[in-house]
Amino acid sequence: MTKTKARKTKDFNPNNCAVTYCINIIGGKWKPIIIHLIRNEHNRYSLMLKMITAISKQTLTNQLRELEADGIVERVIFAEMPPRVEYRITPLGSSLLPIIDAMKLWGRKQMNQTT
């Protein structure tokens, strides 16, 4: 028997709000960063762990599982020894890339204004 952990915010959308729906999928501290990394060819677990130094192994695993369950990324297992696993952005995930790009541009602009 496998134990599944339900996300608190997954189905929370009391006013049927599109922004809330989007935040339920990609919100949080790590998901936009993970999507950005996978898009930029940092698509293996160990590479992501190196790039996001403040994330724990368990949190990265959970976030990747949630993104996979929501159809944003897919996990690809290569039949090699040792097995190699990579993550790819799905077509649904690709539709989020303009949002990630806008976040990057906004962040860069704000960072430049504060220095």
- 58-91 confidence digits (pLDDT tens): 999 999 999 999 999 999 999 889 889 999 999 9
Q: Average pLDDT, whole number, for the chain?
A: 89
Q: Which CATH number fits domain 30-114: 1.10.10.10, 3.30.930.10, 3.40.50.300, 1.10.8.60?
A: 1.10.10.10
Per-residue pLDDT at 20:
87
Position 5 confidence tier, pLDDT thresholds 50, 70, 90: low
> Which residue from 27, 103, 99, 21 is spatially nearest to 67, judged by alpha carbons?
27
Residue 39 corresponds to which tokens in the numbers above? 């898009």
Please give the C-alpha separations between residue 7 and each of 26, 42, 45, 82, 111, in angstroms, as whole numbers.
13, 26, 22, 32, 32
Assessment of whether the complete model's pTM goes beyond 0.75: yes
What is the 8-class DSSP label of residue 6?
P
